[in-house]
Amino acid sequence: MRIFPENASSYGAEIDFIFWLITTVVAVGSVIVIFLILYPLFTRNKQRSPEQRYLKGQGFKQMKLIYLGIVILAIADFSFLLKEGPTWTKIEETLPKDDLHIAVIGRQWLWEFVYPGPDGKLYTADDVKKINQLYIPVNAVVHMDIQSYDVIHSVFIPNARFKQDALPGRSIKRWVKMTKTGTYPLTCAEICGIGHANMKANITVQSQEDFQKTLAKLYKK
Amino acid sequence: MNTHKKHGFWHRFFFSLDHKDIGFQYMLTIFLMVSIGGFFAYVFRMHLAYPDMKVPLFGLVTNKDYNMLITNHGLIMMMWLALGMLLAVVGNFLIPIMIGTDDMAFPKLNKISYWFFLISVILMIASFFMPKGGLGGGWTLYPPLSVGDFGYNTPYQGFASRFFTANTFVLLAIVFEFTSLLMGGINFFVTTLNKRAKGMSLLKMPIVVWMINIASVLFMFSVGPLVAGTFMLLLDINVGTGFYDAYRGGDPLLWEHLFWFFGHPEVYVILLPPLGILAEIISTNSRKPLFGYRFIINMTLLAGVLSMMVWAHHQFVAGINPKAATVFSILTIIISLPFAGIILAYIATLWYGKIRFTLPMKWALGAVALFTLLGGFTGLHLGASVFDIYAHDTSFVVAHFHYTLFPTVIFGTYAAMYFWFNKFTGRHLNKTLGNIHFWLTFIFFNGFAFPLFLLGLAGQHRRIADYRQFEFLMQDPLPLYRQIATISAVILILTQFIFIFNFFWSLKKGKKVESNNPWEANTLEWQTSSPPPHGNFAVYPVVYHGPYEYNMPERDKDFTPQNEA
Amino acid sequence: MNTTISKKLTWRDIPQARLAVWALIAGEFAIFGGLIVMYILNRMKYETWGEMAQHTNVIAGTINTFVLLTSSYFVVKAHEAAVHRNKEKIKMWIWLTILCALIFLGIKTYEYSHEIMHGFTLPGKHLLAEGKNVETMYWSFYYTMTGLHGLHVIGGALALFFVMRGVTKTGENYHRVEAAGLYWHMVDIIWIFLFPLIYLIH
């Protein structure tokens, strides 16, 4: 049974790995906690008459065990952070050199994808706009300037494990590198009004030659 | 000492200053609100599983309806149910009587708090009937969407067209409710500090009293900036300022920070009273002292402080500085540690105890298990900022917060009900119905919430009225998961009617208590009559020791009431 | 019989009313603190933010600051009179405090009308039309912060009035004078923060 959609991006596998790392550790922890809760419950009738430990003094052994539990959790926590830190830096704080630079603009209720046009520069007069359908080449670093005209939207590409909110008044640059050809959904992950459920775009990843052909067709008009 | 003449029900309802009556009023009002919130959940879940169906008792659900239903479900449950039940109801019922005094420090202020709460409820319900309909756009009220379609270029059609909108009314309702809770918080705090029984030092108080007070103080500090922000949003809507409008010099991200600066501590405000309730029930039903009383208080204070430093984990992909995000990620993961300590302390209370698997104990253990294993642990997933990139605004988050909120708010409330009902009414809730209620709730809550994890991992994004146009979300077994979640949710909601029936029937016809202290508990409320008289105690108690002296070696009873020398 | 509980039970000898007002003040500080932090962050982010402060009336603001400080002195005298249970003096000092509040509000109204006439309004339509987004924000914050503060001045003055009436009529509850006075000091302190931030910064 597949849990995640197919991973088609360069950093997707790392994100999936973080999930499985945390889940495995947490599953082990859960088994322990379930045992700790159920054991006294199920053996309650066999309890010897409890000599209780009271507020001051006794209970030191249990306290040590509690601290041990906290320390183990802390170690697990830090292992998660150590593993996810570099990936976060890679995705959010670095920008590898781009092979393609586009703008992705959300508006109620569609996505605009803006190509730089024949001059190769965005925000010039010859930019070409496509609605709800994005073409990018495979194995290429794509820089996306994520913007919004009106309210807050969010660009979500599940197969790329990519997400970035689109805020009005800001342009946020993020990158993605898709590794498999195909057509993948691009949805809006921030409620933006009554058409939020209708904001659906597709991102088609093509081979280099197919992409050049697409671009030529796009720029011809 | 009771010198009041008998008043009619309605007179008592509106004018009584007794904290128990006021607690009951809050409870009835919240029952009304939760019925509405639960009804909305029923409607939108039916729509999600059967999109073209005319939902019984509602009709066809349009996109606009759907947005309105989910938004108001969230608002009602988070603001009115959670905050109301766990601060106002629990605080009002328990604080004065557990500290051995007659009433709150300021009974009239208490009454006024309730009036403000009632006004907030009326405003909230009125918002559904505004000309443009109820509020959509998510309970988080992010602008510019929450400012309405009053964009930069919309001509101003007069103040009335802006004021009589759900946007304005919901915000005003929230302002009134926050004011009510702030007043209540002052009352709780001063009562706890000033009116404790003789001999009850702060460290001899039942831990639930600590928890309610820490929660109130945490609420007070975190809500301030949001109150300011709410005024600013009201001005944006009604006057045309641009605090959150990027085209007018403002910034939508500002609201996100203000909202979550409160919103994160809020979930700990909601969490702390149930943790306190669970502690009382676990200790009493294990016939053992609560393990690590001071340790738990310290961990709670630590968690409270940390909780004010993690808010931007709701904004990892919102466009904040990624370096700041890393700091928030680290702090979020660290906050798991004090809570782990608290839960382990509760578990340590269980071990070597003589456990009584009563109905309140079932709710309490169920709450601890579900909250820790599926709520708390998935918080680690979401706190890891890189995984949150994928999971943010998917059903994974919805599952996470239902697994943290439902076990604590709902199970915690029921645990309190089944534990204290006989004290405040003098009658028992029916045990058979209670057991049916517990098991059905436990099973069908999991049936509802667990599939949501799987749906979220498959990439299902949130707040979508109709998933049919996303083929990747229509592949098997995803529609089946949605249906399982819906059917479980509907059965879950129907199951709660068993409780409602039990509650109101037992009020009049339940089995009368034979003893004031059927649970053989130590705290002061059990040492007075059921129900307690006006003024709570015929003779005010003097306290000799803490509340957790169960099975003390030199005593023959296995419990030692606090006012017994 | 309420023999073991007295209404005047105090924690660490703090009278109940005073404790409650401190709790209220803490909450109010959180609210105004949020606004002040937002204001400061905006000031740090935008260079042109502080320029609008030149259009505030610094003289009026300074006079208002002295008015509020004087009113705080009056409220302290009222408290002194309450300690000595002197109803006449309480009435006099509180009326003087309320007079100061009215002067403060009057000067503020004069300032507001002047500013509004010059086009510096809450929604700032004229400034927006010139594309001056940041400056508009300044005025939005100005009116919100001083407006909210003004509402607290009114509320505090009303509280003082009702406390004075209650005390002089019934001759009981003198501790309420101190409680209301404490609230009044808070209103004053908030102004002490607002004044330099809003008027003097540029």
Would you state the pLDDT for residue A59? 66
Would you state the pLDDT for residue B207? 97
In this model, does residue B216 exceed pLDDT 70? yes
| Mean of the per-residue pLDDT values of chain C | 88
Domain borders along chain B are: 19-527
Taking CA–CA distances from C137, the nearest residue in chain B reads B249
Tell me the mean pLDDT in the region B461-478.
Answer: 93
The share of chain B scoring above pLDDT 70, in percent, equals 97
State the nearest Cα–Cα gap between A117 and chain B, in angstroms.
27
State the nearest Cα–Cα gap between A221 and chain B, in angstroms.
31
If one counts every other C-beta atom within 10 angstroms of the C-beta of residue B216, the result is 25
Domain borders along chain C are: 17-200
Higher-confidence residue of C182 and A118: namely C182
* ipTM score of complex: 0.94
C10 shares contact with chain B (CB less than 8 Å): yes
Q: Which residue from B379, B433, B464 is spatially nearest to B67, judged by alpha carbons?
A: B464
> Which H helix or E strand runs over B275?
helix B252-286
Q: Mind listing the pLDDT tens digit for each residue in A89-114? A: 999 999 999 889 999 999 988 999 99
Cβ contact, residue pair C122, B540, below 8 Å: no
Structural contact between residues C153 and C101, judged by C-beta atoms closer than 8 angstroms? yes
Structural contact between residues B537 and B102, judged by C-beta atoms closer than 8 angstroms? yes
In this model, does residue A49 exceed pLDDT 60? no
Higher-confidence residue of C9 and B330: namely B330
Q: Mind listing the pLDDT tens digit for each residue in C149-178? A: 999 999 999 999 999 999 888 887 888 899
Q: Which residue from B367, B321, B358 is spatially nearest to B519, judged by alpha carbons?
A: B358
| Mean of the per-residue pLDDT values of chain B | 93
Chain B adjacent subunits, 3+ CB pairs under 8 A: A, C
Q: Mind listing the pLDDT tens digit for each residue in C43-77? A: 888 888 888 888 888 999 999 999 999 999 999 99
Q: Which residue from C184, C14, C196, C189 is spatially nearest to C100, judged by alpha carbons?
A: C184
> Which H helix or E strand runs over B415?
helix B412-425
Give Cβ neighbours of residue B267 (< 8 Å, ≥ 6 apart).
B401, B404, B405
Which CATH number is associated with domain C17-200? Answer: 1.20.120.80
Would you state the pLDDT for residue A4? 94
Distance in angstroms (rounded) separating the CA atoms of residues B210 and B564: 22
Structural contact between residues A87 and A18, judged by C-beta atoms closer than 8 angstroms? yes
Would you state the pLDDT for residue B341? 95
Altogether, the residues listed in chain A come to a count of 221
In this model, does residue A56 exceed pLDDT 50? no
Q: Mind listing the pLDDT tens digit for each residue in B159-207? A: 888 889 899 999 999 999 999 999 999 999 999 999 999 999 999 999 9
Would you state the pLDDT for residue B171? 96
Q: Where are the alpha helices (DSSP H) in chain A?
A: 12-42, 60-88, 208-220
Select from B221, B232, B258 the Cβ nearest to the Cβ of C144: B232
State the nearest Cα–Cα gap between C180 and chain B, in angstroms.
16
Tell me the mean pLDDT in the region A200-218.
Answer: 93
State the nearest Cα–Cα gap between B285 and chain A, in angstroms.
11
Distance in angstroms (rounded) separating the CA atoms of residues B368 and B347: 9
Q: Mind listing the pLDDT tens digit for each residue in B375-388? A: 999 999 999 999 99
Residue type, C158: L
In this model, does residue A58 exceed pLDDT 80? no
pLDDT band at B305 (very low <50, low <70, confident <90, very high): very high
Tell me the mean pLDDT in the region B322-338.
Answer: 94
Q: Mind listing the pLDDT tens digit for each residue in B54-69? A: 999 999 999 999 999 9
Stretch 56-75 of chain C: residues touching chain B, C-beta under 8 Å: none
Which CATH number is associated with domain A100-220? Answer: 2.60.40.420
Residue intervals in chain A for CATH 2.60.40.420: 100-220
Distance in angstroms (rounded) separating the CA atoms of residues B474 and A3: 14
Q: What is the DSSP letter of B126?
A: H
Q: Mind listing the pLDDT tens digit for each residue in B130-152? A: 988 889 989 999 999 998 765 44
Distance in angstroms (rounded) separating the CA atoms of residues B106 and B110: 6
Residue type, B377: F
Tell me the mean pLDDT in the region C106-110.
Answer: 94
Cβ contact, residue pair C125, B185, below 8 Å: no
**CATH class as words, domain B19-527:** mainly alpha
Cβ contact, residue pair B151, A23, below 8 Å: no
Tell me the mean pLDDT in the region B400-421.
Answer: 97
- Which chain B residues contact residue A165 at CB under 8 A? 317-319
In this model, does residue C79 exceed pLDDT 60? yes
pLDDT band at A71 (very low <50, low <70, confident <90, very high): very high
In this model, does residue C1 exceed pLDDT 60? no
Would you state the pLDDT for residue B156? 65
State the nearest Cα–Cα gap between B353 and chain A, in angstroms.
6
Residues on chain B bordering chain C, Cβ-to-Cβ distance under 8 angstroms: 1, 101-102, 105-106, 182, 185-187, 189-190, 193-195, 197-198, 220-229, 231-232, 235, 239-243, 247-250, 254, 258, 261, 535, 539-540, 542
Cβ contact, residue pair B225, C33, below 8 Å: yes
Tell me the mean pLDDT in the region B314-321.
Answer: 93
Select from C10, C27, C140 the Cβ nearest to the Cβ of B242: C140
Cis previous bond, B144, omega within 30: yes
The mean-pLDDT minimum among A65-79, C5-19, C98-112 falls in C5-19
Pairing of strands A133-137, A128-131: unpaired
Stretch 142-161 of chain C: residues touching chain B, C-beta under 8 Å: 144, 148
pTM of the shown model:
0.93
Distance in angstroms (rounded) separating the CA atoms of residues B321 and C159: 45
Which residue has tokens 């010897």? A48
Would you state the pLDDT for residue B232? 94
